[in-house]
Amino acid sequence: MSVVPVRTEALSKVFYDESRGEVRAVDSVDITCSPGEIFGLLGANGAGKTTTLRMLSTVLRPTSGQAWLMGHEVRDAPERVRENLGFYSASTALYPKITPRETLRFFARVNRYPRRRIEARVDELIERFSLESYADTRVEKLSGGMKQKVSIARTVAHDPPVLIFDEPTVALDVLNAIELREIIARLRSEGKAILFSTHVMSEAEQLCDRIGIIHHGAILATGTLDQLREATGRHYLEEVFVHYAGMRGKIGT
Amino acid sequence: MELRQIWTLYVHELRSALRERSIVVFSIIIPLVLYPGLLWAGLAAFSFVEGQAERIALEVGVHGLPDRHQSLLDTLDVADRLSAQEWVGSSEEGREEISRGGLDVLVEFVPPDDEGGALEHNFRLRITYHGARDRSRTAREAVESVVDSYREGWIDEARQELGVDAAVWADFRVIQDDLTTAEEGTRFLLGLMVPFLTLIVVALATFYPAIDATAGERERGTWETLMTVAAPRANVATAKYLYVATLGAVGGLLNMIALTLSLRWIFQPVLGAEGQDMIQGGIPLGAFPIIAAGTVLLGLFVAAGMLIFAVFARNFKEGQSMVTPFYIAVILPAIFLQSPDIEFTTALALAPVVNVALLIREAIMGSIPPLQSALTLGSMAVCVALSVVFAQWVMRREEVLVGSQRGGLGGFLRRRVRGRRREA
Amino acid sequence: MRTLVALELRTLLRDPRTVLMSVVLPVVLIPALLLIGSQIEDRRAERAEQRTFQLALVGEESQFAAELVESLRDVRAVEDGPGFRLVEIGNPREALDAGSIDLYLEAFSTEEWRELVEAEGIEGDAISPDLDGIRVLRISYHSTRTASREGAERLSESLLDRHRTRRDSILVQAGFAVPSYQVAVVEGVDVASERQVQGARLGRYLTLILLGLMVLGGSVVATDTLAGEKERGTLATLLTSAVSRTEIVAGKLLAVMGVALAIALVQLVNLWVFLGTGLIDPLQGFAVDVSPGLVAALLLLYLPVVALVAGVLLVTSAHANSYKEAQLYLMPVLLVLVTPAMAPLMPGLSLQSAAVLIPIANLSLGVRDLLAGNLQLAWLAAAWLVTAGAAAWVTTRSVQALHDEGLVTGDTSREDSLEGPELFPKRILRWILVLWAIKLLLELNLRFEDIRMGILLGVGLVFLAFPLLMIRRFRLDPVEALALRFPRPGVWAGVALGAPAGLVAAGTVLHLMDFVVPVPTEALESFGQALVPDEVPVWHLVLLFAIVPGITEELTFRGVLLHGLRRRFGGVALALVVGMIFGLFHYELFRIPVTTFLGVILTAVALLTGSILPAIAWHTLHNGLAAYLATSGIEFGGEEWLWGAGSFLILALALWIIWVCRTPYPGVGEGSEG
């Protein structure tokens, strides 16, 4: 039998803030993601995308609700979860003093990739992401585009079944962003379950198989782009988003 | 805990640090070049002052010298560095000249008081000097010692004239015999300085790695990368901790070696020309394992402490100001330890950091008290274990993980306590 | 500019934690430390007062000693002082070593003492009880134990006091008019006021303490203001605005100076408040004249010091690419800046000497003198100008640092990408520095019974290994790096003429330098002794004093060092720099000027001939002649002016010959600007 790679049930996160008191950053979120699928979390800044993904990557502990990655619960088996997970975000930088090859070796090793196969895996990654020409140059001397490629290679170094990309294109130029999207698409075709968060509508439109619209910590709607269009009667995702967000806003007030 | 995984993480930290040119250059250049350089500056300055002093004659003005005591003037003039001349002006003018610096001391012969006047040719000497000037004070001391021996001679002459038997008069002699050998004396001096220096260099060598491994990672953005790898947080914390402790202990040992190479020679100018004979031997070989063990213990403890403080910082600058209080708290007790009066009691053997410093001192002086050593080892092990557990606990808190907290350790603990109360 | 300074200070003040750590903490901490320190000292003194020393009496005459100690109770000094408790003990030495007694007193008759002197081989003035019937009292103690040392002092003092009283009574009974303490009474009159004496004491430490605090506090601003801005990228913003770089540096300098001055002021006030209220009393009866005039004078004197500190901190900060890097540099900078401020701690060091030429040290001496009421206006002015000059020079360096594009953009990869011979000129000074330190440590720590071994290892091996290491490490061409070329034949005549003349001229230089840097006679003597061992075969002398240093030292200094620096300086500057470095490798202060003189000439010869060979010949000849003169007992003090003047003429002639036959060193000054 096969497990669902990513599944959450009423996942919530409450922060205590000295000035604002209780803040519900994530409120009963239920999402799933299957192999070979890209699930997009679409929301404005501060909507709870990053918090949700951080809970999935076990950096944050859920206040309530549950989440499973490859059948492992995030609170009960955090290491198992991270073993099956590649996490990429604009703020996961590389170590400047080591080379790409050493970077890949380190992350494969520390993420418990079988020891005997590490060297072969590193060579394979270098070839696949065309890092040959600078595989032994220190990361600090690489250009932004090169670093980005190394960074993605780093994310998949231990060949995890689940990948999380948290606003990956935020700091990238157009060409690099395109290249990144291509790589993500390629990873989907390899059967990875991919969670992808963004606030850029066109990106979500192009890339995602299913989209969850998140606003003020709650998922307002989930479905394929067509399903969402149908449900709202709008064509452009932007309009769809404004429709939901605006509705919620009205209800709230 | 997986040892292999910790090892991977540990090697990774070390590799990054060793490739950082500034860290390597500075952990080598300071002990290798700076200490000898400063040492040389000190020796050169000392040689300069000595040479300068040899050439300066101390000017002694003599006023109202009775003919009977003419020989005193000659003795003054031939005395080391003194140049005595008849002072023809008044006392008032003499004082002014001394204030101006043209004259170092003025020696005036005045009539003795009534009691002293019973002795024929007796006199009183008034030495006018300037107490705020080295030269003048030196001159005064030199004149006084000349007068002392002149008085001795005078009285001895009188004794002979009066026919008092020399042996009866002399009665006994007092000799002080210092049983401390030069080696022991050297060890004593080293014992006062080395523990203090060990503490400072270990703390200093731990300071930057601790901040770099936490706040530095946040600043570079690699913190989050590390938090999403499949290693338990405890392993990440342990690896970081071991790395900081390694740098602290190794840096401390390197500095110690460099310092001991220069240290003996620092004493020499202090002790003067005879220093060569007084400084002999060095740290006994048997003490080195203790010093090394002490350095490692200190490194383990200080590293844990500094990490606890540094982990709350979001950038290097913040880290620095957060760790500084701990740094001061570690160094301060050592300042008061430089008193040789403090004994290594069983109570002090339980006080962390202080006990290691005292143990090193005892080892250098040549005795290793077994009970205190065991207690030191035990109490340091407990402290290290407690602080490591605490450091791991702090590092597992999610506000620390994400870096969303405000303030340092104090604020964090306050919030924890408040949070508990709210939950209850 | 005012806007810039205001911006800097505002940024600082909005960071409360930094202010707290760098400004407030020291203000609280230092008095606290003084307070605790003085209390510990008080308690120690109190304990010493009440201490009872454990004393054992030994020896056949111990009855005499016991009576004496008993009678000490009558002596005033002991009554209110500490007491001695007599302890019966079998083996006093063991008991003393174990610490169960503090000291023991042995009493000997004259005969016993003489036997003992014979048996134990006791030396020094302890030997001579020149009269029969004198007893000898020996106090044995351990100077490393406080109780033991103090007990011995007390006992000795009391015994001598007792001795004096007895002598006086014998003498007076025999008919002497007065007791000895009435003879030739000495009384001191101090023309210095209490304030001046205390001022002199405070003056020893004042600059050191203030400087330390200024560096620590100022560094926070300095590191943040350049390295920090570079890291945050705001420096680039500033550079694109309509201010000149000089203005930027000036603004930052003023901000750092402002903070440093504020710290100095706060500390001064702080010190006086705490001392004035009597809360802390480390200096008994403290009273310093705090007239506004004095404060103004102190501030004026400290102004260049503050500027220099600020400048050095800024340069340091400018050379760092990040806050962290700047912090790493700080520790050595602090040590280097603070060291000269220790000058007033050296007893006898006076401002009226060559010390006036050392920045910071000169003004710290001046402050001490000023507080001691000793105002030497001309010397103070000179000191002020020297330090101010140093500050100005350092400040221009930081302006230059901002002009260097690599520093501004934080891009140091240019240097990183250099390799081998290209990198060598950038690294040579660093390596020479390391060599200097290693050689110093070797000289201090390795003492050979036979000086020949010392020369072979300390000179021969070190100076041979260094050029070989450099050639290997940087893949240099040995012929180029060591200038292994043949000069024109005429050069040799110049060398033959010049080396002896240079030796005599060096003697004159040594004599002249004595006025500026006086040589302690002791150092000169011990150097002379160390240099020439007796009864050594002549060929050893020639080999070890002439040939080995002549070849190896030239390979290092006129070989790789000159090669590495050749593009950086023009001819004259190059000769001076290489000569100076050569001089500094001779460590003893009095040898440096002479060896620098020789080094400059040798470098000049190498530069004129484009070859190392004449320099080797000259150096070998020079050392050989010097060793010959020393062993044959011919002394040349350099006092003979005629000889001195003549030698300089011949030296000039020799250099002229070499100049005529010149084949200049390739590539000199090509990389230097101007």
User: Residue B197 is encoded by which pair of tokens?
Assistant: 């220096």
Grade residue C578 by pLDDT with cuts at 50, 70 and 90: very high
* Structural domain includes residue C42: no
- Please list the residue range(s) of chain B that carry CATH number 3.40.190.10: 57-170
Whole-number pLDDT of residue C362:
92
Whole-number pLDDT of residue C554: 92
- pLDDT under 50: residue ranges of chain A: 1, 249-253
In this structure, are C310 and C459 located in the same domain?
Answer: no
Which structure tokens are listed for B159? 């004794």
DSSP states of C159-213: HHHHHHHHHHHHHHHHT-SS-GGGTTEEEEEE-S-HHHHHHHHHHHHHHHHHHHH
- Reported as type and span, the H/E element at residue A11 is strand A6-17
CA-nearest residue of chain A to B402? A59
Q: Specify the DSSP class assigned to residue C144.
A: T
Helix C194-222 and helix C292-318: axis angle, to 10°? Answer: 30
Backbone angles phi, psi at C88, to 5 degrees: -85, 125
- Which is nearest to B399 in space by CA: C182, C412, A54, A159? A54
Q: Is the pLDDT of residue C646 over 60?
A: yes
**Closest Cβ opposite residue C328 in set B26, B38, B328:** B26
Higher pLDDT, C267 or B250: B250
* Same domain, residue pair C266 and C152: no
Which pLDDT tens digit goes with each residue over C347-365? 778 888 888 888 999 999 9
Q: Give φ, ψ of A28 to 5 degrees.
A: 50, 65
Asked if C360 and C273 sit in the same domain, the reply is yes
- pLDDT, position B266: 59
Paired sense of beta strands A193-198 and A38-42, if any: parallel
CA-based nearest residue in chain B for residue A87? B228
Work out the percent of chain C whose per-residue pLDDT is above 70. 81
Other CB atoms within a 10 A radius of the CB of residue C241 amount to 8
Note whether C386 and C475 are same-domain residues: no
Average pLDDT estimate for C316-325: 78
Within an 8 Å CB–CB cutoff, is residue B135 touching chain C? yes
C671: pLDDT strictly greater than 70: no
C104 belongs to a structural domain: yes
Nearest chain C Cα distance for residue B284, angstroms = 16
Chain B partners (3+ C-beta pairs within 8 A) = A, C
Same domain, C403 and C424: no
CATH code at B57-170:
3.40.190.10
Q: How many domains does chain C have?
A: 3
Give the end of a domain, one of C377, C410, C443: C410
Per-residue pLDDT, C636: 60
Chain B residue with minimum CA distance to A63: B398
Q: Are C555 and C612 in contact (CB under 8 A)?
A: yes
* Contact yes or no for B20 and A106 at CB 8 A: no
Q: Is A112 left (phi over 0), alpha (psi -120 to 50) or beta?
A: left
The alpha carbon of residue B331 is apart from the nearest alpha carbon of chain A, in Å, by 32
- Min Cα separation B63/chain C (Å): 14
Query: Which chains have at least 3 CB atom pairs separated by less than 8 Å from chain C?
Result: B
Q: What is the pLDDT of residue C597?
A: 92
Q: Please report the pLDDT score of residue C283 as a whole number.
A: 47
* Statement to judge: residues C597 and C451 lie in one domain: yes
Domains by residue range for chain A, with CATH: 1-84+168-253 (3.40.50.300), 86-159 (no CATH)
Cβ-defined contact of B224 to A97 (cutoff 8 Å): no
User: What is residue A63's three-state secondary structure?
Assistant: coil
Amino acid at A119: E
What are the pLDDT digits (tens) for C607-618? 999 899 999 999
Asked if residue C9 belongs to a domain, the reply is no
> Which range marks the domain in which residue C59 is found?
51-177
Integer Cα distance of A209 and A29 in angstroms: 19
Backbone angles phi, psi at B291, to 5 degrees: -65, -45
| Residues C473, C480: Cα–Cα separation, whole Å | 15
The Cα–Cα gap between B239 and B220 comes to 19
List CB contacts (< 8 A) between B120 and chain C.
Answer: 177
B287-310 and B182-211 are packed helices; what angle lies between their axes, rounded to 10 degrees? 30
Residue C123: the pLDDT is 61
The CATH number assigned to the domain holding C83 equals 3.40.190
CB atoms B40 and C346 under 8 Å: no
Whether residues C328 and B128 touch (CB distance < 8 A) is answered with: no
- Residue B258 and residue B123: Cα distance in Å, rounded? 58
Residues of A in contact with B398 (CB under 8 A): 59-61
Cα dihedral B260, B261, B263, B264, rounded to 10, equals 110
Retrieve residue A222's tokens: 């989930």
Read off the pLDDT of each residue in C508-528 and give the average, rounded to a whole number. Answer: 73
Query: Is C428 found in the same domain as C373?
Result: no
Position C671 in a domain: no
B9 vs A contacts (CB less than 8 Å): 110
pLDDT at position C673 over 50: no
* Parts of chain B with a pLDDT under 70: 1, 21-23, 25-28, 259, 262-283, 336-338, 398-399, 401-408, 415-416, 418-424
Q: How confident is the model at residue C325 (pLDDT cuts 50, 70, 90)?
A: confident
One-letter-per-residue 3-state SS of C341-365: HHHHHCCCCCCCCHHHHCCCHHHHH
Q: Where does B87-133 have alpha helices with state H?
A: 91-100
B401: amino acid identity, one letter: L
The reply to whether C162 and C251 lie within a common domain is no
Question: Do C611 and C550 belong together in one domain?
Answer: yes
Residues of B in contact with C516 (CB under 8 A): none
Where a domain ends, among C359, C389, C410? C410
Mean of all residue pLDDT scores within chain C: 79
Which residue type does B225 have?
A: T
B212 in C contact zone (CB under 8 Å): yes
Domain identity same for C375 and C500? no
Residues C224 and C171 in one domain: no
Q: Which residues of B touch A106 (CB under 8 A)?
A: 8, 12
Domain boundary among C365, C392, C410: C410
In a domain, C24, yes or no: no
What pLDDT score was predicted for residue C600? 93
- Residue C72, pLDDT score: 66
Taking 90 as the threshold, does the pLDDT of residue C620 lie above it? Answer: yes
Chain C residues near residue B44 by CB distance under 8 angstroms: 589
**Reported confidence tier of residue C76, pLDDT bands at 50, 70, 90:** very low
In this complex, do B40 and C184 lie within 8 Å of one another by their Cβ atoms?
Answer: no
Same domain, C546 and C564: yes
